[in-house]
Structure formats: structure tokens, C-alpha cells
Amino acid sequence: MNIKLQQQANMPDKQHVDKITNWIMLLPFPLKTAVIQQVPYGDILQARRKRLDNKTADKSPVKFDLPNKAGSHVSSTCIKSDISTFNLLTLARKLVAVHHDYRAKELGIIVHGFNTKTAERMAEALLAAVLAADADMPKFKEKERTRAKLQKIYLYGINAVHGYKRTFAEAEGNALARCLSMLPPNMLTPADYLERIRQLAKENKWKLEFHDIKALQKKKAGAFLAVAQGSPTEDAGIARLIYTPNAKIIRKDKLVLVGKGICYDTGGTNLKPANSMFGMHEDMQGSAVAMGTLLALTKLKVNFPVECWMALAMNHIGPKSYKPNDVVTASDGTTIEVVHTDAEGRMVLADTLAMASKERPKLMIDYATLTGACVYCLGTAYSGIFTNREELLPTLIDAGRDSGERVWSFPLDEDYDKMLESDIADIKQCSRESGVDHILASRFLMRFVKNNVKWIHIDLSSSTRKGGLAHIPTNTTGFGIRYTLNLLLDKKILN
């Protein structure tokens, strides 16, 4: 992102305020006269004090124009210091949205009246929302206006030493994930996806390996191949990206990120109805989030190795499509009885997890738009979290609260396996009984995590949310990157 950030601990003078057409002002609740008097055009704020006092975190921002030559547009509100991260990010999105149609090249942000730690937190949320709103997303309208790009952000009231490098890295990773996920399915086939991955690998100095159909046949990856066999084009495969730190002190603890990359999901032989099929080009968002996380970690130059494994395929319907009652053999020798061809995500991930966990990473995280059951349980404001280390659950939930990308956990007890017992194979792909498919899918996946690797599975029920989520303004959220960086860098879960 080519946006420059200039910070200053003091307030700007009126002369500078008059040069910038768009401002965001974030002040403490309740609003005190002493705070107002220190802000440029405080008299205007004073006149709107009653309105501002009523605009707490669950209300819309106050909007007004300054009486200067620029006619500067302002969005402002007052906020309590203990506001939750999710509510803070949501408010930040609303404050930023006011300025969307003005298409300004420069934006001023004032955060004033808070202690240093709180001010940094407030400023970070606003920056995250600004960067998310400014990111380019796919658009194919003939008369789409060319949007002026934001070039510079002036931040007043705080001068953070770190320069919000992590916020910029997270935003770049999230923008990549959303952009890829929004591409139409005829523009992001597995072959197209691979070409984009190659370009990104070149730009970021990642090593790329691609296990194509022939390679997977040699590995006897029958679970993945069952899904891929319905495609008229043999372009499916498993991509592996490798980031090697260029640091003086390199940790040996390897992180592996795994993502479901179904570029379009028809449901296969168990064909989806029309309403359920629409939007299935985003069934690859898990892989985009995995790669977006890799990109963010690369930008931050983390000192531990990271691998990103992406299962790229289409779940087509056709004469060669796999079907219920088929029995296939995964790369680890597990035989699987197919029950429902629309449960293809766990099939491609089974072989991918088995292959990736052979590398014996310290931690493996997989991301997948896996089950409707998780959406039924949580809606689209949370994502589901599962792990084979029960003691991690409090940390995993705390990371969601702290990052603003919220998750909730579900049980993974062994007795759920009863529902996956097969009369003719080692395991059923899923159960015909309804209600707990998100749990059964996780139990199924866990079987393919080898070598007792520490594993976290995120069922991305919040990958799509109408109107956006937290600081993200688009329906496609790219959920998971900010969350994962909190886990790694704040919670230090890799230790």
C-alpha cells in the first residue's frame, strides 16, 4: 500500500486543518470543555457538544463541514476508553465511511483526550478502517468511476514509535484475501489462481512447489483427487509456499498455514439449489486468508519459517464426478466412504493436512469456509474455532476479543466419531444426520493431522457478512488475518 503516514503528538494548527478537506476526530466520552478547547475549531465542536455527548460507540458519527475555504468534511464522535475492540473497529468503519464519496487524496485524523496507550489503540483502529476502505477490489462496471487513491494520512494526538507497521501489513494481507475471493469464478480457476500465486511468490521471494494431479496420483491422495476428478480440466493441485526468514536470529519453530481453495462449488453430484450456489466462487476464501496471513508475516519479516499450503480445485458436476457411496483412499491410507459430495472441503483438506503435517511444524492452522452448520450456530459475526489442544481454548477466544475478529469454540470429544462410523470403510466423510456437521467435519480433519502436531481449525462462518464486519466495509471480510497475527505476535502461541 502506497499510503504515507505522518504522525504528530500535538494538535494541528488551523492553517494546516484548512488545507485538508477530510477529517476524522475521535474524542473521549464524556466530552470535557478542556479537551474541546485544545482541538482546532473547538468552537464548532462546542456547538455540537450535546450531539457528540449522545454519540457513544453504538451510535452513528456526527457529520459536519468546517467554515473554512476547503469546506473540510468532518466525522466525529465521543468514545469510552473501555470500548471492546470489535465495537471500536465497527465505529471506525462508520467514521471512515462518511468520507468515501469525497475521494480525498489526504486525510487528517485527530485522536485527543486519551492516555497514550488508549490513544494508540484508537488510532490503530481508525487506520485499519481507513486502509480497509481504500483497498482496491475487483469491479467490472463499464462506467465505474476512477477513484482517487488516498496518498497520505496525517495522524495527530499520538506518535507511535512502531509507525503502525503491523496495521499496514495486516491491511495488505486482508486486501489480498478479499480481492482474490471477490474475483468471478471464470477469472479465478485453479490455473488462474496458480498464476497469481506464482507472481506473488516472485514478488515476495517465496519458494513455490505445486503438486499437480499426476504428483497427487503418485502420492495416492485419493480424497483430494475424488473432488478434482469431476473437472473437465486437470488444473487442480496443492500449492506450497515457503517463507524463509532473512534474520540474524532465526527461530526453528515452523508455522504451517493451510487453506481450502475450492474456486467454485456446485455441490457436485449432490447439486446445490440456486440460492445456495450463488456466491460459491468465494469457497476458496480459506486459501486466500492463509496466503494473506503469509503476506502480512512476510511484510513484518518475522524470524520464524512459515509455509502456506493451498488446496486448489473445483467441485464440478459431470460424468466423472465422485458420488455418494464411493470409497476412496487418502494419502495416509485411510479409506473414506463418501456420503455427500457437497462436503468436498474436508476431502481436499484431508490430504493437504496429512502432507503438511509430515513436515512436523510447531503449529498448524487451517482456514476453510467449511460448513453451513457453523453459520447456523454462530451467524456471520463470529467464526468457529477448533483445536486438538483443549488448553488453548481460552487463549484462542481471547485473541478474537482482542483483535476484533471474534471466534467461539466447539467440543471435539471422541464420542462424536460414532456418527462417522462406516460399515465398509475406515470413516465416513460426513453424517446424514443434521445439526453438528461443523463438529463432525473437525473430527474428520483431525484424523489427518499427523505427528501430534498442534492444530487449530477455523471454520470461517464470518467470511461473508452483508454490510461488512468490524473495520471491513465489504461483504467479503477476509476474516482471519488480523486474528492470526494477534495469536502469533501478542499471544505468542508459537512459543
**What HEC string does the chain produce?**
CCCEEEEECCCCCHHHHCCCCEEEEEEECCCCHHHHHCCCCHHHHHHCHHHHHHCCCCCCCEEEECCCCCCCEEEEEEECCCCCHHHHHHHHHHHHHCCHHHCCCEEEEEECCCCHHHHHHHHHHHHHHHHHHHCCCCCCCCCCCCCCCCCEEEEECECCCCCCHHHHHHHHHHHHHHHHHHCCCCCCCHHHHHHHHHHHHHHHCCEEEEEEHHHHHHCCCHHHHHHHCCCCCCCCEEEEEEECCCCCCCCCCCEEEEEEEEEEECCCCCCCCHHHHCCHHHHHHHHHHHHHHHHHHHHCCCCCCEEEEEEEEEECCCCCCCCCCCEEECCCCCEEECCCCCCHHHHHHHHHHHHHHCCCCCEEEEEECCCHHHHHHHCCCCEEEEECCHHHHHHHHHHHHHHCCCEEECCCCHHHHHHHCCCCCCEECCCCCCCCHHHHHHHHHHCCCCCCCEEEEEECCCCECCCCECCECCCECCCCHHHHHHHHHHCCCCC
d(C-alpha 457, C-alpha 493), whole Å: 14
Which one of 196, 198, 272, 450 is the catalytic residue?
Answer: 272
∠ CA 22-28-34, rounded to 5°: 95
Could you tell me the pTM of the whole model?
0.96
Quote the CA–CA distance of 279 and 286 in Å, as a whole number: 14
Is residue 346 annotated as a catalytic residue, yes or no?
A: yes
What pLDDT is attached to residue 144? 65
pLDDT at residue 103 in the model: 80
Q: What is the pLDDT of residue 147?
A: 65
141 has catalytic annotation: no
Residues of the chain with pLDDT under 70: 49-59, 144-147
Say which of 93, 219, 260, 346 is annotated catalytic: 346
Cell 471464470 sits on residue = 186
Strands 73-79 and 62-65: antiparallel
Going from the N-terminus, what domains does the chain have, and what CATH number goes with each? 4-162 (3.40.220.10), 168-490 (3.40.630.10)
pLDDT of the residue at 43:
85
How much is the pLDDT for 49? 64
Taking the CA atoms of residue 432, residue 266, residue 274 and residue 434 in that order, the dihedral angle to the nearest 10 degrees is 10
